[in-house]
Amino acid sequence: MNKLAMPKIDRKLTSKKIEIVKGLKKIIKAENVLDHEDQLRPFETDALSAYKQKPLIAVFPENTEEVSKILAFCNRERIKVVPRGSGTGLSGGALPLADCVLLCLGKFNKILEVDYKNRCVVAQPGVTNLSITQAVEEKGFYYAPDPSSQIACSIGGNVAENSGGVHSLKYGTTTNNLLGVEVVFMDGTISRLGGKTYDSEGYDLLGLITGSEGLLCVITEVTVKILKKPQSVKAALIGFPSIEDGGKCVSEIIASGIIPSGMEMMDKALIHATDNFVKAGYPRDAESMLIVELDGAEIEVEELIEKVSEIAKKNKSSSIKISKNEKQRLKFWAGRKAAFPACGDMAPDYYCMDGTIPRGKLAEVLKEIGRLSKKYNLPVANAFHAGDGNLHPLIMYDANEKNALEKTEKFGADILKYCVKVGGVLTGEHGVGVEKRELMCEMFNNNDIQQQIKIKKALDASSLLNPGKVYPILRKCAEEGRVHVHRGKTKFPDIPRF
Amino acid sequence: MSIEEKQNSPTFQDSDSTEYPKNEKEVSSFIKKFYKSGIPVELVGSGSKKKMGKPLQCAKTLNLSKLNGIIEYLPEELYIKVKAATPIKEIEEELKKNKQQLAFEPIDFGFLLNGKSDYGTAGGQVSCNISGSRRFKVGSVRDHVLGFRGVNGRGEIIKSGGVVVKNVTGYDLSKLICGSYGTLAALTEITFKVLPAPDESKTLVIHNQKLEFAADLLYRSISSSSDISGAIYLPNEPKVAGCVMDIEKTFKLNDLKNNGSITAIRIEGSKNSIDQRFKNLSNELKVANFDISILETIQSEIFWNKIKTLELFSSTKNNILRIVIPPSECVNLVYQLSNKFKYYFDWGGALMWMEAFELSEEMFESIRKKIIKLGGYVTMIKNSDYLPYVEEVFTINRDRFNITQNIKKSFDPKRILNASKMYTGI
Ligand SMILES: Cc1cc2nc3c(=O)[nH]c(=O)nc-3n(C[C@H](O)[C@H](O)[C@H](O)COP(=O)(O)OP(=O)(O)OC[C@H]3O[C@@H](n4cnc5c(N)ncnc54)[C@H](O)[C@@H]3O)c2cc1C
């Protein structure tokens, strides 16, 4: 396993484990405090499974007051806390620290209110993303953000990561669909931000904590907007003889004034992988493939499908299939949704990247990924939320091979650096976590990062909530000759870098 | 020195100590200087919203109007990057050339605050985060800011976000900046998400409905799958002393009948799509039973523009309040206020604009209490001669104040930027 630089372990604390457990058992039921090695093993990693670390203790509070008391206790005793939802995060955001209390929100699993009058659902953070839609489906409503992990990931985790999905192009990510939260800050203060109203007055704290990766507060309740299902939905499956043609088609569709509800692209490697895996009927001879989904009034969908087909033909499409019914539409999606397991079938391990680029740079970036793939001698399959330029290159490797993970990570880092170089960003929806922490300096300079750290300190004075994530520990962010070393962490110059 | 020369000289101070930085670097050096000596400074774009928030008394003014111009506009990438004091009008005109728009419908406080149309600058819109009638469908200003650059209260140039929609790299400071009334940073550059402008617009007006029934119509319209983009109720009562509620005069349009209150629902898109959705909605609402008017694109656009410019209040001398509540509470709110004020509802009942004649601060506070109980908030948008000042323009509670204060300090430790414009002590 790879070594990862993390905040220094507080040995004084770890030696007090028995007392801390006692203290926590005074706050919550004894059975909700886990401290045995065996009990802790299931929580040693999230979906970035290359990194593992058992927490000192794991706790399962059952209500907000308990969360508040736990945080106040930990704040007083200077104990680090790592929040955890369902553990499907792909950037190591919920990776425990050896001296931390892992705060698991699994017991917060109830939908508290379905409020059709205000078109919203109030849920506890441990409720899965999909069960929100399931709760309102009978009346023809749904919750728009739909991460591929939606059967497992928690709505609290979605808020913490500002998760998106294939429909974010038209309907936005979590932040655009969130009305309110209840949160607990590290000092135990319980606060409500937003509610059932649109926007709120004063600083947009709701916007600030969305996507804050568990560093600013623990989310204990969530109010999300629900939408009425569109009258009609159809998808087009379009093959192209080259990546460039597919990329151009994407840009042209957007430039023509169409905002599809989803626009996904796959390269040849992934077309084959997924088609082998679920027999989705994908065009296997194509170099790239688009799924373009349109929704709205029936007549509008027909018109738009027509327009999209024309644009596709103009861009040399080699095949176009339009979904004839709901079953076929879902089949089109089945392959795309199986992208991860399909890669899992092709190689012992895969590593999923998540940069975003301006759409127009798609072909250029793909070419670079191809070049890097040769350089590192690692195969890669590419899935994109093409409509919003969010790339998911899946690098395949074998963790049992010597240095394979390091090589893969370097490859991944090179891809992300290139994304930034062409005007994009490091992460579109998976978060920075521990994974991309050291790359933050590619995008931000010292001032930018210091401003963010100051906000962190404003809400968590002793930096006890999820430390070691998001902000660089090892790298120097230099600006105009002024070199800043974050928290003087050059003390460990020999620890391998990202 | 000529005015021109004065304005071009970064060190010049005119009689009211206004500085006109020409670029971000100068903004930074000015603020650095102020920071050093702890001099409070008022930030001004074009001044269109100067009267909003609490009045400021600052030794210095930074007039940012020279930070003006479109930096980059890529229609196919759906973004436009502008210097912060670029007039909204200029941005919208540029977008129009490509059939695009700022979908949040920038609001025009000009009529209300200064007697003539004035959308102000990009920075002003962002600082206030007040959005138009499409809010419930497309989000507010904050949902359309992809990134920004600015100068914090230490004089440091900071940035956040980027030019792409999908971005979770670091905290989302673009959100935090929206609605912060210049108390966190002097904005220098803003990147907006832009969207295709709809081909056409059509408005269904249902006449002469009482509040309760109108609220239900709005609710059913927003909850339908007809994808509507505007839902308002303009009552023709109560007749309140000191307020003129003349919807007939304000909304004089050829195809608009003159028959009591107006419940209006907007549908936008391509012609065929509008027609189909309009038909579906009309069936769902059983409009055959009502007296209706239908406004096609040109008149529909004029109608909604009047909403955007708050024309109904344009010559008022009274206080104007902006109230946001959960939409289900709209009827209740009117009763709680004893039906004593001139008002109308936007956002399907979630937003109430209210005009109050001879409002006292105690009355304002008691209104606020009721609104908070309903789960909402209220902002004093415009003062009057009768009530020229209120201590709390915005709603806030103790917990939130503490957090707000800590956030403020993290940007502006000496509290020099627009100090106390939002809350005393922030
Ligand atoms: C197969 C697969 C597909 C995926 N597809 C997508 C996708 O399409 N789009 C997408 O955006 N993501 C996707 N993800 C990533 C992941 O599912 C999301 O990031 C998700 O939101 C994480 O939720 P979680 O409950 O598992 O959070 P966790 O992994 O448990 O935690 C994630 C982060 O949030 C913090 N956190 C969790 N809960 C709380 C809380 N209540 N309060 C404060 N902080 C909290 C944690 O500290 C951590 O930093 C995918 C993951 C997998 C494994």
Contact of B159 with chain A, judged by CB distance below 8 Å, is answered with: yes
Work out the average pLDDT over B12-31: 85
From the candidates B28, B166, B395, B400, which should be mutated to test the interface with A, based on the most A CB atoms within 10 A?
A: B166
Q: Please, which pLDDT band fits residue B54 given cuts at 50, 70 and 90?
A: very high
Residue A165 Cα, gap to closest chain B Cα (Å): 10
Q: What pLDDT, on a 0 to 100 scale, did the predictor assign at position B290?
A: 96
Q: What is the pLDDT of residue B51?
A: 84
Measure A89 CA to ligand 1 centroid, in angstroms.
Answer: 4
| Residues of chain A neighbouring B78 (CB-CB closer than 8 A) | 254
CA distance B184 to chain A (A): 9
Distance CA B330, CA B265 (A): 17
The residue ranking higher by pLDDT, A249 or B314, is A249
User: What's the CATH fold of domain A111-228?
Assistant: 3.30.465
Q: How far is the CA of A88 from the centre of ligand 1 (A)?
A: 5
At A476 the pLDDT is 55
Interface contact B223, partner A, CB < 8 A: yes
Which class for B76: exposed (0-12), middle (13-18), buried (19 or more C-beta within 10 A)?
middle
Burial class (CB in 10 A: 0-12, 13-18, 19+), B271: middle
- Residues in a beta bridge with A81: A101, A465
Task: Report DSSP letters for A354-371, one per residue.
Answer: --B--GGGHHHHHHHHHH
Fold of A11-104: 3.30.43
- Per-domain boundaries in chain A: 11-104, 111-228, 437-491
Query: How many angstroms from the chain centroid is the CA of residue A174?
Result: 11
Q: Give the C-alpha separation, B369 to B376, whole Å.
A: 10
Instruction: Report how far ligand 1's centroid is from the alpha carbon of A158 (Å).
Output: 6
How far is the CA of B333 from the CAs of B234, B235, B289, B302, in angstroms? 15, 14, 28, 29
- Report residue B378 as tokens: 């209220």
Q: Which of A197, A359, A426 sits opposite B325 (nearest CB)?
A: A197
Q: Is the minimum CB–CB distance between B135 and chain A shorter than 8 Å?
A: yes
From chain B residues 23-52, the ones with a CB under 8 A of any chain A CB are none
User: From the CA of A153, how far away is ligand 1's center (Å)?
Assistant: 6
Give how far A80 is from chain B: nearest CA, Å: 20
Supply the pLDDT for residue A495.
Answer: 27
DSSP-H helix ranges across A16-127: 17-27, 37-40, 64-76
Name the residue among B142, B219, B228 with its Cα closest to residue B178: B142
B271 touches chain A (CB under 8 A): no
Q: In order of start, what are the domains of chain B with their CATH numbers?
A: 1-197+396-426 (3.30.465.10), 199-393 (3.40.462.10)
**CB within 8 Å: B407 and A431:** no
Which residue, chain included where needed, has tokens 């200077």? A78
Instruction: Return d(Cα A193, Cα A217) in angstroms, integer.
Output: 12
Q: Which residues, in sequence order, are CB contacts of B2 under 8 Å at separation 6+? A: none
Taking CA atoms only, the protein residue closest to ligand 1 atom 9 is A147
Give the count of beta carbons closer than 10 Å to the beta carbon of residue B108: 22
- At B338 the pLDDT is 85
Give the rounded distance of the alpha carbon of A21 from its chain centre: 32
Q: How many Å separate Cα A282 from the centre of its chain? A: 27
CA distance B217 to B204: 11
Q: HEC profile for chain B? A: CCHHHHHHCCCCCCCCCEECCCCHHHHHHHHHHHHHHCCCEEEECCCCCCCCCCCCCCCEEEECCCCCCEEEEEHHHCEEEEECCCEHHHHHHHHHCCCEECCCCCCCCHHHHHCCCCCCEHHHHHHHCCCCCCHHHHCCHHHHEEEEEEEECCCCEEEEECCCCCCCCCCCHHHHHCCCCCCCEEEEEEEEECEECCCEEEEEEEECCCHHHHHHHHHHHHCCCCCCCEEEEECCCCCCCCCCCCHHHHCCCCCCCCCCCEEEEEEEECHHHHHHHHHHHHHHHCHHHCCEEEECHHHHHHHHHHHHCCHHHCCCCCEEEEEECCHHHHHHHHHHCCCCCEEEEEHHHCEEEEEECCCCHHHHHHHHHHHHHCCCEEEEEECCCCCCCCCCCCCCCHHHHHHHHHHHHHHCCCCCECCCCCCCCC
With 0-12 / 13-18 / 19 or more C-beta atoms within 10 angstroms meaning exposed / middle / buried, residue A18 is exposed
- Candidate from B76, B280, B375 with C-beta closest to A360: B76
Q: Which of B140, B163, B400 is the closest to A191 by Cβ?
A: B400
> Helices in A432-473 by DSSP H: which ranges?
440-443, 446-459
- For all residues of chain B together, what is the average pLDDT? 93
Q: Does B90 touch chain A (CB under 8 A)?
A: no
Above 80 in pLDDT, residue B1?
Answer: no
Q: Which of B178, B159, B186 is nearest to B42 (CA)?
A: B186
Q: Which chain B residues are within 8 Å of A247, Cβ to Cβ?
A: none
Least CB–CB distance from B162: residue in A425, A455, A470: A425
Assembly ipTM: 0.94
Chain B residues touching residue A205 (CB < 8 angstroms) = 176, 400, 403-404, 407
What is the C-alpha to C-alpha distance for residues A329 and A264, in angstroms, rounded to an integer? 13
Using most ligand atoms within 8 A of CB, pick from A153, A174, A224, A391 the residue to mutate for ligand 1: A153
Helix%, strand%, coil% for chain A, nearest 5: 40, 20, 40
Q: In whole angstroms, what is the distance from residue B183 CA to residue B186 CA?
A: 8
CA distance A179 to B135: 13
The pair of structure tokens assigned to A338 is 């199986």
Tokens 């399962």 sit at which residue?
A60
Residue of A116, A179, A204 to mutate, testing the B interface (most B Cβ within 10 Å of its Cβ): A204
A119 touches chain B (CB under 8 A): yes
Residues of A in contact with B173 (CB under 8 A): 208, 451-452, 455
Ligand 1 first shell, C-beta below 6 A: A 46-47, 82-90, 93-94, 105, 125, 147-149, 153-154, 156-158, 160-161, 163-165, 213-214, 218-219, 340, 429-430, 466
Number of neighbouring beta carbons within 10 Å of residue A479: 17
Q: Which helix (H) or strand (E) holds A79?
A: none
User: For residues B228 and B218, what is the distance between their CA atoms, to the nearest angstrom?
Assistant: 10
Task: Write the burial class of residue A391 (CB in 10 Å: 0-12 exposed, 13-18 middle, 19+ buried).
Answer: buried
* Pick from B162, B164, B172: CB nearest A208: B172
Give, using CA atoms, the residue closest to atom 23 of ligand 1: A157
Angle in degrees, CA A124, A126, A127, rounded to 5: 75
DSSP code at position A95: -
Count of CB atoms situated within 10 Å of the CB of B210: 12
The number of the ligand 1 atom at minimal distance from the alpha carbon of A90 is 15
CB contact under 8 A, B172 and A210: yes
Rounded average pLDDT per 10-residue block, chain A, 498 residues: 80 95 98 97 94 97 98 98 97 97 98 98 98 98 95 97 95 98 98 95 96 98 97 97 94 95 95 92 96 96 97 97 95 90 87 94 93 96 94 93 93 96 96 94 93 96 96 59 35 28
Does the beta-carbon distance from B350 to A164 stay under 8 Å? Answer: no
Q: What is the chain B residue with the closest CA to A158?
A: B168
Task: Supply A69's token pair.
Answer: 């008391």
Helices (runs of H) and strands (runs of E) counted in chain A: 17, 20
Cβ(B403)–Cβ(A191) under 8 Å? yes
Chain A nearest C-alpha distance from B249 (Å): 30
Question: One-letter amino acid identity for A207?
Answer: G
- pTM comes to 0.95
Task: Quote the distance between the C-alpha of residue A149 and its chain's center.
Answer: 10
Quick one: pLDDT at residue B209?
96
Burial of residue A397, with CB atoms counted within 10 A of its CB: 0-12 exposed, 13-18 middle, 19 or more buried: buried
Q: How far is CA B180 from the centre of its chain?
A: 12
Q: What is the spatial distance between Cα A213 and Cα A19, in angstroms, rounded to a whole number? A: 29
A433 in Cβ contact with A467 (< 8 Å): no
C-alpha–C-alpha distance, residues A211 and B171, integer Å = 7
Q: Do residue B394 and residue A202 have CB atoms under 8 angstroms apart?
A: yes
CA distance A395 to A473: 25
All residues at 6 or more sequence positions from A492 whose CB lies less than 8 Å from its CB, including other chains: A5, A474
pLDDT of the residue at B390? 95
Instruction: State the Cα–Cα distance between residues A102 and A84, nearest whole angstrom.
Output: 7
Question: Tokens for B281?
Answer: 């909605």
Atom of ligand 1 nearest to the CA of A155: 25
